[in-house]
Structure 1
């Protein structure tokens, strides 16, 4: 184990030199743009044909990672089986700590979960893009009596900060509306009612459109912005697809028009219906500078799995982005990534950081006693007493968790990075990790 740690520390130093985005003075590989040069050139990324390019014609191959759980908490990333939506997770933390301490917990959580050190590590590892899921509730409050929207909340400062760090590190930023007003998916991670109300209720349509217009107004001159992903995974398979699917593209048109009133430059990213996988909802592209995104988990890694997206890209000459994939084996990551790269698709895997898992870039060490908190979050009628927890114990566990999420305390997964074709300097550390895993005692079934 000591040898693995030493190898890892040595390799991290090597990555600092080997994988950091090149400066503007360094020549780019022919036809391929490095992220550092892109940002220092002060240009906006554009969709041209099937590629993402600069006016010079240099291609930007997307190599991204999603910042899941940071601004949109998800229950499985806390090992909660019942409290899955952000509001439900918030209730568990409030039961554990009380309202006042719970508010402080979330403030510290957001400050520590993604830091400058995390962003710099992503850049050193070879990523050139970060996808930032956001929750509308961190960016807007309930409207005034007259109906005027109030764009206020802690999300703006947090987003400004991560964009600034990304700009300095040479990374591009996708802003992904993961939880829209009213909900867009109809499942837990949109934090809605269980129905995608943004497609039913005019008020939610107006609020979502207004939020995107404000985001675009604020960041219209920001070169670190890759683009605006209007909705994450709209219209799940649990909803009335026949009624809702025809409403998706018209809503995209409405939001895109509002964005273009204030920002004519940045890319707009459109997700397919049903977990981003159904592109049959789309007509020919209705505007320039559009990118289409799909998600795929736990699938086969054959060409027929992505045939629909290849055909769409070829027919309409538009870029395709694999917006989420992963949470599988490293072998699957490698095969599916390679499949997408072969057909000219950029990618952003899911997710950067998670609790005690091998299938992320970095893994949070599980605090002692976390199983009690996980039990609390898995109950239908949660209480400290039923979870055999005292408030003092819950406080200690959650404070340990807040320390564990800091970059200096996480476990880096070298083999995960290598499965994405990144961090060549970590190859030896990956081999050591694989040997350690092979020699570890097998758990009883």
Structure 2
């Protein structure tokens, strides 16, 4: 039997999120990344979702294309998934959404009802298990950032340069707010995932505008506002908007192949603490709640050398980060719930039809290091090193890191254009070719690989999350 709905929407009270009775609620959960917004490392395709879908449509034809993706969306998250997450003591699920489920570029003024049906199913499944949800707009037309996960297909954030794109997204958020107003299982709206505004002023202007527009139709729901430059920089923020929680993302390089191994030294722990404190300085100075919307290491697969040792270090890193969050009693959402074996709390069994079919391509993609997220460049570093050297020799040093975001350095921008965009886009057709000639029954089995019962549970990770997130642990959940 489903629990009764909360009496009112959650709201901000000082530094806390509170319920209708004024009781503090610490939101602890995960994200359904890879579902209503697909990402390359999560489900195995190269590049950007829209490019992959175009190649799949070309190969499958409309009927089979619609069938496969409808089944994928159906199987990826069901009531079984919601029940499993609730069993860990989690109380809030973040739902990353691709705007394309709600609007088409050639007919942008029409909001598609199919988008609401898709998100409603997740919200309702979570509500039936007593789980709050946060609606996260993960992609924007033109791209709100330079990354693959904004599904722009390019390496620039053009959203900030075109008012008509901004108008479209304000209108979409008004429609979403109208649809979910009064739904007390929705903890709030995350209007923009990981913005990257080169001018550091356009983002705040957009937040002011979208907050006002949302409040006109839904005055009650919390807004969860990401910092600039991939939710890591609040240095240019000048004001606090009402009933808003400010969100940072706290990934640690020590949790990825390119970072140094985490051994728990005092110096490493101090680095983690200082990184966190820098990101939350704005929230603490203005006495507003903190939400860590994304964090978490990646994990070595069983075929990698010393994988048990590596993963042990990364579990310890995660534990250290969560001890920091617990001291400040902040809300958090780990990234991520389900994938093909890289970071998820659960991942597809290697024996599933999807993994069996794509094994050669997944091995090739891993060897080439096409996905930015946690890649190992060991087998291709010698190919790109001369290109990076050539750029470095021809570009004066004072200009090399002028391109935003400067944190990527020259090397990162080269990889973004050559590997993550151009190379990956062309390989979308190779990925799609694996599905050529498949029957509806075969496509159903491939999509069904994403059912929870066909997944392996990453038990150590789930134990860590359960230990921190059990209801009542670390706060009044």
Q: Which runs of 5+ in 1 are unaligned?
A: 1-19, 24-35, 426-445
1:391: which partner in 2? 436
1:405: which partner in 2? 450
From 324, 330, 345, give the equivalent of 2:330.
Answer: 345
The answer on whether the counterparts of 1:184 and 1:235 sit within 8 Å (CA) in structure 2 is yes
- The reply to whether residue 74 of structure 1 matches residue 13 of structure 2 is no
The answer on whether the counterparts of 1:320 and 1:345 sit within 8 Å (CA) in structure 2 is yes
273-282 or 54-63, which deviates more: 54-63
Secondary structure of 1:417's aligned partner:
helix
Question: Matched residues in 2 for 1:385 and 1:355: separation?
Answer: 19
CA apart distance, 1:208: 0.6
Question: Matched residues in 2 for 1:275 and 1:90: separation?
Answer: 25
The answer on whether the counterparts of 1:178 and 1:232 sit within 8 Å (CA) in structure 2 is yes
1:120: which partner in 2? 83
CA apart distance, 1:196: 1.9
Question: Matched residues in 1 for 2:118 and 2:31: separation?
Answer: 16
From 285, 307, 330, give the equivalent of 2:277.
Answer: 307
308-317 or 172-181, which deviates more: 308-317
Secondary structure of 2:128's aligned partner:
helix
329-338 or 294-303, which deviates more: 294-303
From 183, 186, 189, give the equivalent of 2:149.
Answer: 189
1:46: which partner in 2? 11
The count of aligned residue pairs is 377
Secondary structure of 1:306's aligned partner:
helix
2:169: which partner in 1? 208
- The reply to whether residue 173 of structure 1 matches residue 128 of structure 2 is no
2:260: which partner in 1? none
From 89, 93, 101, give the equivalent of 1:130.
Answer: 93
The answer on whether the counterparts of 1:128 and 1:171 sit within 8 Å (CA) in structure 2 is yes
1:108: which partner in 2? 71
The answer on whether the counterparts of 1:86 and 1:191 sit within 8 Å (CA) in structure 2 is yes
Cα deviation per residue 1:270-326 (whole Å; 9 max; x = unaligned)? 1011110001121120x3101000112124553211112443222111001000011
CA apart distance, 1:162: 1.1
Question: Matched residues in 2 for 1:334 and 1:170: separation?
Answer: 26
1:251: which partner in 2? 206
Question: Matched residues in 2 for 1:304 and 1:138: separation?
Answer: 39
TM alignment of 1:282-431, pairs within 5 A: 282-285=237-240, 287-299=241-253, 301=269, 302-328=272-298, 329-357=314-342, 359-366=343-350, 367-374=355-362, 381-382=426-427, 391-392=436-437, 399-422=444-467
93-102 or 185-194, which deviates more: 93-102
Cα deviation per residue 1:343-372 (whole Å; 9 max; x = unaligned)? 121100001000023x32111123313223
Question: Matched residues in 2 for 1:47 and 1:383: separation?
Answer: 44
The answer on whether the counterparts of 2:55 and 2:432 sit within 8 Å (CA) in structure 1 is no
Distance 1:339 1:388, change over 3 A: same
Let me know the Cα RMSD of the aligned residues. Answer: 2.8
CA apart distance, 1:373: 4.2
The answer on whether the counterparts of 1:321 and 1:345 sit within 8 Å (CA) in structure 2 is yes
CA apart distance, 1:335: 1.3
CA apart distance, 1:224: 0.6
Secondary structure of 1:69's aligned partner:
coil
Cα deviation per residue 1:244-266 (whole Å; 9 max; x = unaligned)? x1111011000000001001100
Secondary structure of 2:173's aligned partner:
helix
CA apart distance, 1:170: 0.5
Secondary structure of 1:169's aligned partner:
coil
From 252, 259, 277, give the equivalent of 2:232.
Answer: 277
Cα deviation per residue 1:215-235 (whole Å; 9 max; x = unaligned)? 011111100111111110111
The answer on whether the counterparts of 1:334 and 1:420 sit within 8 Å (CA) in structure 2 is no
CA apart distance, 1:139: 1.1
Distance 1:89 1:375, change over 3 A: farther
Question: Matched residues in 1 for 2:335 and 2:85: separation?
Answer: 13
306-315 or 221-230, which deviates more: 306-315
The answer on whether the counterparts of 1:92 and 1:376 sit within 8 Å (CA) in structure 2 is no
Question: Matched residues in 1 for 2:183 and 2:138: separation?
Answer: 21
132-141 or 206-215, which deviates more: 132-141
The answer on whether the counterparts of 1:234 and 1:271 sit within 8 Å (CA) in structure 2 is yes
Question: Matched residues in 2 for 1:153 and 1:100: separation?
Answer: 20
CA apart distance, 1:397: 7.3
Question: Matched residues in 1 for 2:275 and 2:194: separation?
Answer: 18
Distance 1:105 1:387, change over 3 A: closer
- The reply to whether residue 159 of structure 1 matches residue 128 of structure 2 is no
Question: Matched residues in 1 for 2:293 and 2:468: separation?
Answer: 21
